């Protein structure tokens, strides 16, 4: 049986949500209409606690300097903070060493790094890459570009009507000897938590390398890359209480060592001559130029914040909120919810309202301060699969309350009244 949600929860303790909310200054503000912000768009980006904001502010106020290149006090402080954050992130996902943690700009760049470096060094015309029908564009377009350039083949694991992957379809695709299986751990539309351990094991048994898009999973679940046995794992800070503009590519050391550099320039080199260069050691080999130093420090602070709350506790809270939200939304005539039941999904509720475009739903909700997302959520093929142009999407996190879900539901009833 595939491993889904509840096996990830180990003796969760209830979160003190009211206390947590005090850490997020933005939740205190009101809209121009004088409405309190009801933020239900954390799948797009999470809000930031004061601990993260202050960590970045402290760096700029007290320790601002470039890293790795100076022996003066500020440079050494900045370097220690930057590399200290890398150590925290490695521990957070249980990487074997911080050398396997590559700083990037975001999940998208992490996936592109694998496509440009590992894939272009290892894939040739006719080689098969397996993706899924629920992928974010970030895990589709890089492979489509490589298909146009190299003539690789792309095939897709089907999504069933209930929002789960068709693992029988996957098993049949594996008989075609793929070189890479790349998939999302958790869908940003359906909320589906895919059975990553099973998918990776099956890929390895077929001789394939694996890449996991963890943009939606790492912020919400306890992720252990060694237990998963993932070859590559990508995620971003901004969806997990950290700053924008910084992400992570985790890769097994042996794979990263064998890969050519992604970008050329400063800090990714050990030696440069006029006609040649030698790349630096891991992880610096893939980190050209002055990096996002303050953002890395903020990332480390975000990891501290989530670790103190406990990832199993976070997952349990989100499951409770999601189950409640699905129950309330199902009460509304004309609402159709996409994705599996609450026990197989994270904190996402994508839905349509009969006779009303999702953008109209979002705009009317915003009049009462309720922030949801509307559109195809960078998953256009998935929406086409279900025969719809767009959905409205409410998404939940550590600061979401049941009262806010009630405000969402009340707002949808208001939309229904307005549209007759």
**Residue among 252, 189, 185 nearest 214 (CA):** 185
Of 360, 378, 406, 414, catalytic? 378
Asked whether the predicted pLDDT for residue 2 surpasses 80, the reply is: no
Tokens of 124: 């040739």
pLDDT digits (tens, 9 = 90+) for 251-294: 999 999 999 998 999 888 889 899 999 988 999 999 999 999 99
Query: What b/e readout covers 128-148, taking b as 16+ CB neighbours within 10 angstroms?
Result: bbbbbbbbbebbbbbbeebee
Q: Phi-psi region for residue 284, left (φ > 0), alpha (ψ -120 to 50) or beta?
A: alpha
Distance separating alpha carbons of residues 257 and 247, to the nearest angstrom: 20
- CB burial of 177-206 (b: ≥16 within 10 Å; e: otherwise) equals ebbbbbbbbbbbbbbbbbbbbebbebbeeb
Among 220, 247, 219, which residue's Cα sits nearest to residue 235? 247
**Cα distance between residue 229 and residue 263, in whole Å:** 27
Is residue 420 predicted with pLDDT exceeding 90? no
**What are the residue ranges spanned by the domains of the chain?**
6-48+310-418, 52-308
Could you please state the CATH topology (level 3) that the domain comprising 6-48+310-418 is classified under: 3.90.1150
Does a cis peptide bond (omega within 30 degrees of 0) precede residue 283?
yes
Question: What class is the 52-308 domain?
Answer: alpha beta
Closest CA to 305 of 1, 71, 51: 51
Tracing tokens 């009317």 back to the chain, one arrives at: 364
The per-residue pLDDT for 272 is: 86
Identify the H or E element spanning 371.
strand 370-371
Q: What is the pLDDT of residues 188-242, one digit of tens each?
A: 999 999 999 999 999 999 999 999 999 999 999 999 999 999 999 999 999 999 9
269 strand-pairing partners: 279
pLDDT at 286: 97
- What average pLDDT score do residues 243-255 get? 98
Q: How confident is the model at residue 12 (pLDDT cuts 50, 70, 90)?
A: confident
User: For 285-337, what is each residue's pLDDT tens digit?
Assistant: 999 999 999 999 999 999 999 999 999 999 999 999 999 999 999 999 999 99
Average pLDDT of span 344-372:
98
241 noted as active-site residue: no
- Other beta carbons within 10 Å of 375: 16
pTM: 0.96
The per-residue pLDDT for 1 is 45
Closest CA to 238 of 402, 41, 383: 41
Percent of the chain with pLDDT over 70: 98
Nearest to 215 by CA among 256, 170, 248: 248
The single-letter DSSP state of residue 159 is B
For residue 4, name the pLDDT band (cuts at 50, 70, 90).
very low
């Amino acid at each position: 049986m595939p491993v889904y949600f509840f096996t990830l929860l180990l003796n969760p303790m209830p979160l003190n949500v009211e206390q947590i909310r005090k850490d997020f200054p933005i939740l205190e503000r009101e809209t121009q209409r004088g409405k309190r912000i009801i933020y239900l768009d954390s799948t797009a980006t999470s809000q930031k606690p004061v601990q993260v904001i202050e960590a970045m502010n402290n760096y700029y106020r007290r320790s601002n300097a470039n890293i790795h290149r100076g022996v003066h006090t500020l440079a050494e402080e900045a370097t220690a903070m930057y590399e200290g954050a890398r150590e925290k992130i490695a521990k957070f996902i249980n990487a074997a060493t911080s050398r396997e943690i590559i700083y990037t700009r975001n999940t998208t760049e992490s996936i592109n790094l694998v496509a440009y470096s590992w894939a272009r060094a290892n894939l040739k015309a006719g080689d098969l890459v397996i993706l899924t029908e629920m992928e974010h564009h970030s895990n589709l377009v890089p492979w489509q570009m490589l298909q146009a350039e190299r003539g690789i083949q792309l095939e897709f694991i089907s999504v069933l009507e209930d929002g789960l992957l068709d693992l029988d379809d996957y098993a049949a695709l594996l008989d075609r000897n793929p070189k890479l299986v790349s998939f999302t751990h958790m869908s940003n539309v359906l909320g589906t938590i895919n059975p990553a351990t099973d998918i990776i094991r099956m890929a390895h048994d077929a001789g394939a390398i694996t890449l996991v898009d963890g943009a939606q999973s790492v912020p919400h679940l306890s992720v252990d890359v060694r237990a998963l046995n993932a070859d590559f794992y990508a995620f971003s800070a901004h969806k997990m209480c950290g700053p924008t503009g910084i992400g992570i590519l985790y890769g097994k050391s042996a794979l990263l060592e064998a890969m050519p550099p992604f970008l050329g320039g400063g800090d990714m080199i050990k030696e440069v001559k006029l006609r040649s260069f030698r790349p630096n050691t891991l992880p610096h080999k893939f980190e050209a130029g002055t990096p996002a130093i303050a953002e890395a420090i903020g990332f480390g602070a975000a990891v501290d914040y989530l670790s103190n709350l406990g990832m199993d506790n976070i997952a349990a809270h989100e499951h409770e909120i999601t189950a409640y939200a699905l129950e309330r939304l199902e009460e509304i005539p004309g609402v159709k919810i996409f994705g599996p039941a609450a026990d197989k999904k994270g904190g996402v509720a994508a839905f349509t309202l009969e006779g009303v475009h999702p953008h109209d739903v979002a705009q009317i909700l915003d009049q009462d301060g309720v922030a949801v997302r509307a559109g195809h959520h960078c998953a256009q093929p998935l929406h086409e699969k279900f025969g719809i142009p767009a959905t409205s999407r409410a998404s939940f996190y550590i600061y979401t309350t049941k009262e806010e879900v009630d405000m969402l539901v009340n707002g949808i009833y208001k939309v229904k009244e307005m549209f007759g």
